[in-house]
Amino acid sequence: MNRLLTGVILISILFLGCTKDDEPDYATLILGTWVNKQIDNKAILTDASFVIGFRADRVETYATGFKVDDNNKTWIENDKYTYAVDCDKIIINGLNDLGNRFHFEFKILYVDQQILTYSVSKFMIDNVEFPDQKTYTSKKVATNLAKQFVGTWYGKSTKQGTADTSYHYWDYFADGHFDYYYRDGGGNWINKPDNEGAYFLYGDFLASNFTNDLIGGEKGKAFECWNIRIDGNTMFWTGIRENGQINTFRMEKVTGPPSFFTTQALCGKIE
């Protein structure tokens, strides 16, 4: 009986456990940075996207928009997490920016060189469990647009029927900050002094921190996310907003901020 029982246990282990022969190499496949694109197979608002990364040193990184209070929200990055891979399960532990202890367990449903789909087996904050029945699909960051992105860009919204018909300048620097220029009522270009701009680039996904336009009556810090495409010296932004609205921008790369050239020469290039 003992030999029979031992045989049954061994057979059970072979069928229930994972081995290198019958399972993908999940630990290798998940390495890299992933931008969440869908929840339950539906596209999400671009500002609701988040970024997870799995490094070879078993550090898990996380970036997301965070609501500080009713008037302030910001994009944050965190590398205070570690992870382990057990068969098709990813186990994550760490602290968020407020010192709360997180414990995640993800079940990998599908992964290849481009797509990672998973469900949440366990989600705990400070030992309190929060059930999550959703399925998440992320796209792997496969391009590095940093060199093309840095510089000065001039353009405007191309969304049909938009109320924002003004041109704008963005001056992006390699250290992760940017200046924003707007045109005042007298036609003068102003480097917005309260902008406090910072940007985060994950392949073709852009997140930006800034202060709201105090001239328009809004106050507080904000963030905004876009999917970007760069074609030579032309850049396109696309964002899914509330009620399924698609916002778009088109801009041209130029040689410097507004004081170095006139705007009339550029307007025809972007119309």
Which string of DSSP letters, residue by residue, matches 68-84?
Answer: EETTEEEEEEEEEEEEE
Per the CB < 8 A criterion, the answer to whether 267 and 260 are in contact is no
Write out pLDDT tens, residues 136-184.
999 999 999 999 999 999 999 999 888 888 899 999 999 999 999 988 8
Band the pLDDT of 195: cuts 50, 70, 90.
Answer: confident
Would you say residue 10 has pLDDT above 50?
Answer: no
CATH-assigned architecture of domain 146-270: Beta Barrel (2.40)
Write out pLDDT tens, residues 216-230.
667 899 999 999 999
Instruction: Give the predicted TM-score (pTM) of the model.
Output: 0.86
Using a pLDDT cut of 70, give the percent of the chain over it.
86
Neighbour-count burial for 132-147, b at 16+ CB within 10 Å, e otherwise: eeebbbbbbbeeebee
Residue extent(s) of CATH 2.40.128.280 domains in the chain: 19-140, 146-270
- Residue 118 CB partners (closer than 8 Å, separation 6+): 90, 106, 107, 108, 109, 135, 136
Per the CB < 8 A criterion, the answer to whether 108 and 30 are in contact is yes
Average pLDDT, the chain: 88
Using a pLDDT cut of 90, give the percent of the chain over it.
72
The reported pLDDT for the residue numbered 8 is: 37
Fold of 19-140: Lipocalin (2.40.128)
Give the mean pLDDT of 15-37.
82
The reported pLDDT for the residue numbered 194 is: 83
Write out pLDDT tens, residues 201-251.
999 999 999 997 766 667 899 999 999 999 999 999 999 999 889 999 999
Concatenate the DSSP letters of all residues of 243-269 into one string. Answer: GG-EEEEEEEEESSSGGGS-SHHHHHH
The reported pLDDT for the residue numbered 183 is: 86
β-strand partners of 152: 171, 254
The reported pLDDT for the residue numbered 20 is: 57
Dist. CA 59–CA 80, nearest whole Å: 8
